[in-house]
């Protein structure tokens, strides 16, 4: 699990954020499976965008007056907190750092699949769609490329993302994870290469109880055993430990607090070159 990789759901329908140079009029469905939009992309608005895939020429923020349309579902942890993705600090800072302005459209929560089907049928597609084409599109991303809905990004990555291309060439194990079986890149991947990025969830504990009982934040299984026993015996709680267990614990607890302590995860993993489950 040293290099945990998850493919980002952002499928770049009109090229990439790194180029930010395609004409607003070239809709996604105008692209062929080769990844070449019909018509010609407009020239980069600044030399900072780089030339001929030269990584040394790339710099952010890009100087551009283009606005890219971005379609993405409002996830459950945003609904009720922010009215739109444009109000989320991450997306605000993303636009600031890249220099590329985004115009957001979001389907109602829980209706992404249905709304996307209508969107694709209309032919009036945004520049970018954030969607799980791997699991949510019949036939997967390769079929979506063949249907002309999303672009094959192989050539575009080579032209506009030389750093990513170099990284994938140097890490063939990761490269296999972020493309289809036919070798098509269909998204820009989020690579959790740093250990800090590999931890994204975990338990919540009553720090006030720890302080009251003079206990440190538990790290090992023995620490947890001691801490939970103290919570039960000294604080009188009837449930010293609870889990999110709807509908079944292991559906939600596969990346939870304790399973990693035993060197396994819920799924396939590799140990000394042998695949285990």
CATH-assigned architecture of domain 4-197 = 3-Layer(aba) Sandwich (3.40)
Strand order in the sheet with 128-130: 10-12, 128-130, 67-72, 101-105
3-state secondary structure of 168: helix
Instruction: Determine contact, residues 185/134, Cβ cutoff 8 Å.
Output: no
Query: The pTM is what?
Result: 0.58
**79: which DSSP letter?**
T
250: CB partners within 8 A, 6+ apart: 266
- pLDDT tens-place string over residues 131-184: 988 888 999 999 999 999 999 999 999 999 999 999 999 999 999 999 999 999
Distance CA 167, CA 145 (A): 24
Confidence of residue 11 (pLDDT cuts 50, 70, 90): very low
- pLDDT tens-place string over residues 20-74: 333 333 333 322 222 323 222 333 333 233 334 444 456 889 999 999 999 999 8
pLDDT at position 182: 94
Distance CA 5, CA 178 (A): 8
pLDDT at position 93: 97
Q: Which residue has the higher pLDDT, 171 or 197?
A: 171
Mean pLDDT of the chain, nearest integer: 78
Distance CA 47, CA 271 (A): 47
Q: Where exactly are the structural domains of the chain?
A: 4-197, 207-276
pLDDT at position 269: 81
Mean pLDDT of 203-210: 93
φ, ψ (nearest 5 deg) of residue 49: -70, -10
Instruction: Determine contact, residues 8/190, Cβ cutoff 8 Å.
Output: yes
pLDDT at position 4: 37
Confidence of residue 220 (pLDDT cuts 50, 70, 90): very high
Q: How many CB atoms lie within 10 A of CB 29?
A: 17
Highest mean pLDDT of the ranges 4-13, 14-23, 146-155, 200-209: 146-155
């Amino acid at each position: 699990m040293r290099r945990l990789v998850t493919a980002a759901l952002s499928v770049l329908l009109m090229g990439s954020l790194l180029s930010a140079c395609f004409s607003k009029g070239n809709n996604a469905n105008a692209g062929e499976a080769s990844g070449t939009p019909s018509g010609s992309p407009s020239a980069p608005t600044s030399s900072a965008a780089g030339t001929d895939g030269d990584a040394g020429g790339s710099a952010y923020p890009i100087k551009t007056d283009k606005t890219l349309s971005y379609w993405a579902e409002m996830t459950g942890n945003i609904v009720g907190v922010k009215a739109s993705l444009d109000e989320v600090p991450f997306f605000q800072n993303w636009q600031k750092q890249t220099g590329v302005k985004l115009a957001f459209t979001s389907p109602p929560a829980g209706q992404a699949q249905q709304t996307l089907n209508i969107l694709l049928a209309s032919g009036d597609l945004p520049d970018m769609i954030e969607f799980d084409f791997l699991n949510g599109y019949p036939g997967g991303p390769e079929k979506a490329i063949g249907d002309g809905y999303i672009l094959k990004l192989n050539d575009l990555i080579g032209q506009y993302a030389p750093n990513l291309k170099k990284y994938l060439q140097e890490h063939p194990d990761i490269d296999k994870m972020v493309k289809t079986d036919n070798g098509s890149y269909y998204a820009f991947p989020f690579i959790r290469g740093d250990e800090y990025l590999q931890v994204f969830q975990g338990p919540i504990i009553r720090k006030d109880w720890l302080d009251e009982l003079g206990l440190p934040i538990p790290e090992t299984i023995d620490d947890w055993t001691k801490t939970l026993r103290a919570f039960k015996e000294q604080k009188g709680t009837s449930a010293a430990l609870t889990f999110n267990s709807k509908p079944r614990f292991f559906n939600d607890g596969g990346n939870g607090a304790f399973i990693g302590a035993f060197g396994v995860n819920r799924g396939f993993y590799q140990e000394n070159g042998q695949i285990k489950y």
